[in-house]
Amino acid sequence: MEGRVGSQDGQIASPRRAPSQQRSRERVERMLAAASALIAEQGSDAMRMGEVAERAGVSIGSLYQFFPDKRAIVWALAERYTAESQACISAALADVSDAEGLGQAFSELVDIYYRLFLAEPVMRDIWSGTQADKALRELELADSRANAEFLTAVLKRLRPAADPAALETTAFLVWQMGEAAMRLAISVGREEGDRLVAAYKRMALRELLDQ
Amino acid sequence: MEGRVGSQDGQIASPRRAPSQQRSRERVERMLAAASALIAEQGSDAMRMGEVAERAGVSIGSLYQFFPDKRAIVWALAERYTAESQACISAALADVSDAEGLGQAFSELVDIYYRLFLAEPVMRDIWSGTQADKALRELELADSRANAEFLTAVLKRLRPAADPAALETTAFLVWQMGEAAMRLAISVGREEGDRLVAAYKRMALRELLDQ
DNA sequence: TGCAAATGTGAGGATTATTCATATTTTGAA
DNA sequence: TTCAAAATATGAATAATCCTCACATTTGCA
């Protein structure tokens, strides 16, 4: 009843061949767009390579010309999301210089993420499946570390006397807790989700500001 | 290259037929034991139904006599773990009556869980894949709620003046954060993992005791 | 004993992911 | 412009896997 999704080795799935011509670059975009639409409709697990090819208007062989396997497509989409959000997060935290500013920026960041998770089925699907796929897990971990570093930088400015290593651990943990809180929040009802996100915010800020 | 793992509907995978004879009960045990061993060796994703049957010394058809599909086997193992751990957690929190006691019990509980995650590849694998499988996700959520309730009961005793709804939210969130922290801790190096777990403990207790 | 229910079996059906031999298009140097 | 090499396109065929089902065997029990 099935196809399987490759062996369990978590190789970073890089394009089998980078599209060098204008034509192929456009086709790869179409493939990713098709995959994105299908994931939004049915989830990445139910996404079929044949459907992706058909919807992108390319042959199945062309798909495999640029993506070594199914997971690579999901990975490529995930990478785009992380790149975008990192830029956003970096900007939001760049010029925070006092506790109040951190509270403000962090709170907004959480809201943005929460809304994004609620509104973006693709993102939701991809980050949900994160744990099952080694390459995705590593991407998310790297992303999380990068984001935590932005937060660490702020903390070091706000609390110069504190142990830097401890600040790093705190920032990383708080950030990961945030991602977990989001996943939890979207998997329960909206009201409870809102409450949980609010509770997370309080908890995180208390920890970050060491109050 | 593959088989697929069932449609994405998250039906609770209950035995197709409960084994009623001694013989079949023993065989089902062998099936679960075989599955457990294979998951420990290669992960549940790489576990093949044919291998499970072979190692259990039964035919593939017998497997499907008692388990409607592959996920049902994983689910059955997961259910056992949750039943066991709930009993353990309930016992640990049952007679907590002051802040110090909570600190003690909670800290021990976290340690036990952490060690369990580190030592039990099966448990680790199952809870990692949790997000990808609807039935597993629901099982984990229900388990988490049940455990959070034990914690809530303690909090209500310790802080009778507090808003009960807020305590429930706090307990649930803290518990889920704990599971996330565990997953994170075992996916990074041992040293960093230890630091993260310690940091989580501090954060959680601060929140639980509202200090 | 004998019959119905429970259980056991494994070859084959059904899906999918992925490959590969071959055809077509583009590029860039002569 | 010409043309060979590189890049790209194609989809039928392959391979791997889950799961079904028609039929065989065993067990419980009146």
* A38-62 pLDDT per residue, tens: 999 999 999 999 999 999 999 999 9
- Rounded to whole angstroms, the Cα distance separating B65 from B63 reads 5
Local confidence band at B8 (pLDDT 50, 70, 90 cut-offs): very low
- Rounded to whole angstroms, the Cα distance separating A198 from A200 reads 5
* B159-191 pLDDT per residue, tens: 999 999 999 999 999 999 999 999 999 999 999
| Chain B residues touching A207 at Cβ < 8 A | 203, 206
- If 0-12 CB within 10 Å is exposed, 13-18 middle and 19+ buried, where does residue B115 land? exposed
Local confidence band at A15 (pLDDT 50, 70, 90 cut-offs): low
- Rounded to whole angstroms, the Cα distance separating B122 from B125 reads 5
Query: Given CB atoms, is B82 within the 8 Å cutoff of chain A?
Result: no
B148: how many CB neighbours lie within 10 A of its CB? 22
- Rounded to whole angstroms, the Cα distance separating A99 from A158 reads 7
Instruction: Indicate the residue of A46, A181, A184 with minimum beta-carbon distance to B8.
Output: A46
Local confidence band at A16 (pLDDT 50, 70, 90 cut-offs): confident
Instruction: Return mean pLDDT, chain B.
Output: 91
Provide the residue type at B195 as one letter. Answer: R
- Judge contact between A178 and A211, C-beta under 8 A: no
Angle at B86 between CA A172 and CA B140, to 5 degrees: 55
* pLDDT at residue B210 greater than cutoff 90: no
- Rounded to whole angstroms, the Cα distance separating A15 from A27 reads 14
Provide the pLDDT for residue B29.
98
Distance of CA A208 to the CA centre of its chain: 22
Provide the pLDDT for residue B202.
96
| Chain B residues touching A170 at Cβ < 8 A | 199
* pLDDT at residue A136 greater than cutoff 80: yes
Provide the pLDDT for residue B25.
96
Full-model pTM = 0.91
Distance of CA A21 to the CA centre of its chain: 29
Among the listed ranges A20-29, A50-59, B2-11, B15-24, which one has the minimum average pLDDT value?
B2-11
- Rounded to whole angstroms, the Cα distance separating A168 from A174 reads 10
Rounded mean pLDDT of A89-110? 95
Per-domain boundaries in chain A: 19-68, 77-209
Instruction: Indicate the residue of B2, B196, B206 with minimum beta-carbon distance to A3.
Output: B2
* pLDDT at residue B95 greater than cutoff 70: yes
**Nearest C-alpha in B relative to A126:** B132
Rounded mean pLDDT of A161-186? 96
How close does chain A come to B41, measured CA to CA in Å? 12
Query: Given CB atoms, is B195 within the 8 Å cutoff of chain A?
Result: yes
**Nearest residue to B122 (alpha-carbon basis) of B58, B32, B49:** B32
Footprint of strand C on the protein (CB under 7 A): A 1-6, 21-23, 47-50, 60-61, 64, 68-71; B 1-4, 17-21, 23-24, 27, 58-62, 64-65
Record: contact A2-B7, CB cut-off 8 A: no
- Judge contact between B181 and B150, C-beta under 8 A: no
Angle at B62 between CA B56 and CA B68, to 5 degrees: 110
As assigned by CATH, the class of the B19-68 domain is mainly alpha
The CA–CA distances, whole Å, from A138 to A119, B37, B38, B118 equal 24, 26, 24, 19
DSSP SS3 for B98 = coil
Rounded mean pLDDT of A8-22? 64
Q: Smallest CA–C1' separation from A3: which nucleotide?
A: C16
Local confidence band at A10 (pLDDT 50, 70, 90 cut-offs): very low
- Rounded to whole angstroms, the Cα distance separating B127 from B143 reads 12
The CA–CA distances, whole Å, from B72 to A3, A17, B8 equal 18, 39, 13
